[in-house]
A and B are shown apart, each in its own frame.
Chain A
Amino acid sequence: MVSVRSTLVALALALTAASGCTELPASGVARGQVLYTNCEQCHGKSGEGSTLVQAPPIAGLPAWYIEAQFLHFQTGLRGAHPDDVEGLKMRPMSRTVKDPADVKVVAEYVASLPAVKTEATMGGDATKGQAAFATCAACHGADGQGNPDLKAPKIAGQADWYVVRQLTKFKGGVRAYDPADTAGATMKGIAGTIPDEAAMRDLAAYIHTL
């Protein structure tokens, strides 16, 4: 005779299966893909980002950079400044991924996504921006593809609104506020040399065209 307990367990399993819950693979990019569903709410299913919630496009960014920034959010090196509205959203979300191995597979999955081209929204002058980009090219490369040895991420094609926002944060100390963020400290110094937001828009317009 089937016990009440067995019946309840079978019922619970059937309801779980019917709910659409996805089985989590043990490892690899497939696991990262399932874990990424938590990120989709803001960054989009294809990693295309959302201006509505100020979540940047992340598809195709290098895995090492995604992983490093994820850990920065977790440890408070990034996104813990009271004025970093978007960072304070990402900070608690990053802490929902407890296992560093899971951070790695999510990063690998995001890196595997094809980069998404966004619409320009800031109205900057790419020609003016190209001239100013020489400073950036020293670390990020002339083509903006980045240099992992210098901890400089790929920025080619990045959304212009996001570039302006991050440059503003670097310049104002809202990002790279902690000396332990050494790569951020470099960027903070460089951002400080950009005279105003108009120059940032021009720079972002050029980076967007790469």
Chain B
Amino acid sequence: MLEHYMKQGSSYASHIDGLVWMIFLMVGFWFLFAEGMFFWLLWRYRKKPGEKAAYFDEHAEHKIKYNWVEIPHRLILVCDVALIVGAISVWTEVKISMPQTDETVRITAQQWAWTFQHAGPDGELDTMDDITTVDELHVQLGKTYKFELASKDVIHSFSVPLFRLKQDAIPGRVITGWFKPTLAGEFDVQCTEICGIGHGIMPAKLHVDTPEEYAAWLANPSHYLAYHY
């Protein structure tokens, strides 16, 4: 359902959506159950002609309290455990583990631009054929990328909704992560940490290219002559 509003474009996007969906269902169920029960009890034990409104107190029978408090309580705890297991599983996959990667891209944030250092034709960073772009990230469909994220000034946040990826960039630190694009096209990158007056105008474009498109982009001689944006 979430994919209806925002396409899933990375290998782990569906896992994050699944987790969000699981949280929504469990929290939603208990919210509706608790509110329904609350209003039903208000109506069921309301004041009637010749009869005072009834309510539970410390003198209520143990069995009644057990049924209405203890059982839902324990069921919610079971749900909590399920959510924690799901969350840790996804967190470990996305943030903790680092799979075998095909290439590394260096991402530098500053007020108010993104700089992307691509490995170039040789697939290695910090060599002569690196391609550095501003506000334009090119990646190849199906390849697994490691990213190295840094900031030149204040805290920014690298957000790619298509990937369901969001990672803060902290001055003085290089934060690593990974993604594997699974959907070709042109998509949005946006800073999602208030970073100054230009925060709202700090977008970038993500191009997920097919191998042919990526090869054509690499071969563009303008990368090696001047900066064109």
Question: Residue B62 at the A interface, CB < 8 A?
Answer: no
* Minimum CB–CB distance for B123 against chain A, Å: 20
Contacts of B133 in A (CB 8 A): 82
* Minimum CB–CB distance for B129 against chain A, Å: 16
| Number of A-B residue pairs having CB atoms within 8 Å of each other in the complex | 48
Question: Residue A81 at the B interface, CB < 8 A?
Answer: yes
CA distance A92 to B114 in the complex (A): 11
Question: Residue B192 at the A interface, CB < 8 A?
Answer: no
Which one of A41, A42, A88, A178 lies within 8 Å of B228 (CB-CB)?
A: A178
Q: Can you name the residue of chain A whose Cβ is closest to the Cβ of B203?
A: A92
* Minimum CB–CB distance for A33 against chain B, Å: 19
Contacts of A177 in B (CB 8 A): 226-227
Question: Residue A76 at the B interface, CB < 8 A?
Answer: yes
Q: Are A88 and B227 in contact (CB under 8 A)?
A: no
Contacts A76-B227, A76-B229, A178-B228 given; does A82 touch B115 at CB 8 Å: yes
Which one of B134, B153, B197, B202 lies within 8 Å of A41 (CB-CB)?
A: B197
Contacts of A42 in B (CB 8 A): 197
Contacts of A96 in B (CB 8 A): 201
Q: Are A88 and B226 in contact (CB under 8 A)?
A: no
Which one of B115, B152, B226 lies within 8 Å of A178 (CB-CB)?
A: B226
What is the total number of residues of chain A having a CB less than 8 Å from a CB of chain B?
17
Contacts of A95 in B (CB 8 A): 201
Question: Residue B214 at the A interface, CB < 8 A?
Answer: no
CA distance A178 to B134 in the complex (A): 15
Complex interface bits, A46-89 against B, C-beta within 8 A gives 1, otherwise 0: 00000000000000000000000000000010001110010011
What is the total number of residues of chain B having a CB less than 8 Å from a CB of chain A?
19
Contacts of B153 in A (CB 8 A): 85
Question: Residue B113 at the A interface, CB < 8 A?
Answer: yes
Q: Are A82 and B134 in contact (CB under 8 A)?
A: yes
- Secondary structure call for the B interface: loop
Q: Can you name the residue of chain B whose Cβ is closest to the Cβ of A173?
A: B226
Question: Residue A91 at the B interface, CB < 8 A?
Answer: yes
CA distance A91 to B201 in the complex (A): 10
Complex interface bits, B98-115 against A, C-beta within 8 A gives 1, otherwise 0: 000000000010111101
Contacts of A80 in B (CB 8 A): 134, 227, 229
Question: Residue B132 at the A interface, CB < 8 A?
Answer: yes
CA distance A93 to B197 in the complex (A): 9
* Minimum CB–CB distance for A146 against chain B, Å: 27
CA distance A85 to B112 in the complex (A): 9
Q: Are A89 and B111 in contact (CB under 8 A)?
A: yes
Q: Can you name the residue of chain B whose Cβ is closest to the Cβ of A42?
A: B197
Which one of A81, A93, A178, A179 lies within 8 Å of B198 (CB-CB)?
A: A93
Contacts A76-B229, A80-B227, A82-B115 given; does A88 touch B201 at CB 8 Å: no
Give A83-142 interface residues, CB cut-off 8 Å to B. Answer: 85, 88-89, 91-93, 95-96
- What residues of chain B have their CB less than 8 Å away from a CB belonging to chain A? 108, 110-113, 115, 132-134, 152-153, 197-198, 201-202, 226-229
Listed by A's residue number, 6 A-B pairs whose Cβ atoms lie within 8 Å are A41-B197, A76-B229, A82-B133, A89-B112, A92-B113, A93-B198
Q: A88-B113, A89-B113, A178-B226 are in contact. List 8 more A-B contacts (CB 8 A).
A: A41-B197, A80-B134, A82-B108, A89-B111, A89-B198, A92-B113, A92-B202, A93-B197
User: 3 tightest CB-CB pairs across the interface, nearest first?
Assistant: A88-B113, A76-B229, A92-B201
